[in-house]
Copies of this chain bind each other. A is one copy, B any other.
Amino acid sequence: MAEKLERLPGFRDFYPEACDLRNYVFETWRKVAARHRFVEYEGPILEKTDLYRRKSGEEITEQLFHFVDKGEREVAMRPELTPTLARMAAARQRDYRKPMKWFSIGPFFRYERASKGRLREFYQCNCDILGETSDQADAELVAMAVEVMVEFGFREGDFVIRLSDRGAWMDWLTEQGISGDAALAVLQAVDKLGREEEAKTAEHLAGAGTNLEAVRAFMARGEEASPRAVAISRNLAARGLAGFLQWDLGIVRGLAYYTGTVFEVFDIGKGMRAVAGGGRYDNLVKLIGGVDLPACGFAMGDVVVGNFIEETPHAKARFEAWKSDFRAADAFVIVADEARRDEALAGTQSLRRAGLRVDSCLTPRAVGKQFAAAEEATARFAVIYGGSAGWISIKAMSDRSETLCETGALPATLLKLLGRSSEI
Residues of B within 8 A of A37 (CB): 329, 357-359, 377
A13, CB-defined interface residue at 8 Å: yes
Residues of chain B with a CB closer than 8 A to A150's CB: 353
A233 at the interface (CB under 8 A from B): no
With an 8 A cutoff between CB atoms, is A51 at the interface?
yes
Q: Which of the residues B8, B34, B235 comes within 8 Å of A73, measured between beta carbons?
A: B8
**What bracket does the count of chain A residues touching chain B fall in?**
35 or more
**B48 close to A362 (CB less than 8 A):** no
A303 within 8 A of B: no
Could you say which of B234, B290, B362 contacts A134, with CB atoms under 8 Å apart? B362
Stretch of A135-143, A180-188, A213-221, A398-406 contacting B (4+ beta carbons < 8 Å):
A135-143
Whether, in the assembled complex, A35 has its beta carbon less than 8 Å from a beta carbon of chain B, the answer is yes
Residues in B whose Cβ lies below 8 Å from that of A75? 8, 65
What's the dominant secondary structure at chain A's contact region? Answer: mixed
B11 & A355 in contact (Cβ 8 Å cutoff) = no
Say which one of A159-167, A340-348, A410-418 lies at the interface with B.
A340-348
Minimum distance in angstroms from A141 CB to a CB of chain B: 10
A177 is an interface residue with CB less than 8 A from chain B:
no
Bound Cα distance from A43 to B329, whole angstroms: 25
A4 interface contact, C-beta 8 A = yes
Q: How far is the CB of A288 from chain B (nearest CB, A)?
A: 7
Set B15, B73, B287: member contacting A41, Cβ < 8 A: B15
Tell me the bound Cα distance from A107 to B105 in angstroms. Answer: 13
Q: Judge whether A239 is part of the interface by a CB distance below 8 angstroms.
A: yes
**Given A65-B69, A77-B46, A329-B37, does the pair A92, B15 have CB atoms closer than 8 Å?**
yes
Q: Does A376 contact B (CB under 8 A)?
A: yes
Residues of B within 8 A of A272 (CB): none
Decide yes or no whether A363 CB sits under 8 A from chain B: yes
Interchain CA distance A92-B67 in the complex, whole Å: 33
How far, in whole Å, are A111 and B352 apart by their CA atoms in the complex? 38
CB pair A111 B70 closer than 8 Å: yes
Closest beta carbon of chain B to A303's beta carbon, Å = 14
Query: Which one of A16-24, A191-199, A389-397 is at the interface?
Result: A16-24
Q: Indicate whether A409 reaches chain B with its CB closer than 8 angstroms.
A: no
Contact B341 A238 (CB under 8 A): yes
A residues adjacent to B (C-beta < 8 A)? 1-2, 4-9, 11-16, 19-20, 22-23, 34-37, 39-48, 50-51, 54, 65, 67-71, 73, 75, 77, 87-88, 90-92, 95, 97, 99, 102, 107, 109, 111, 121, 129, 132, 134, 136-137, 140, 143, 147, 150, 234-235, 238-241, 287-290, 326-327, 329, 341-343, 345-346, 348-349, 352-353, 355-359, 362-363, 373, 376-377
Q: A5-B288, A239-B346, A239-B349 are in contact. List 9 more A-B contacts (CB 8 A).
A: A6-B48, A19-B40, A37-B358, A45-B121, A65-B69, A136-B362, A147-B352, A147-B353, A238-B342
20 contacts between A and B (CB under 8 A): A5-B87, A7-B44, A8-B69, A9-B71, A13-B43, A14-B41, A15-B88, A19-B42, A20-B40, A34-B326, A37-B329, A45-B77, A70-B111, A136-B362, A143-B349, A147-B353, A150-B353, A234-B342, A238-B343, A238-B346
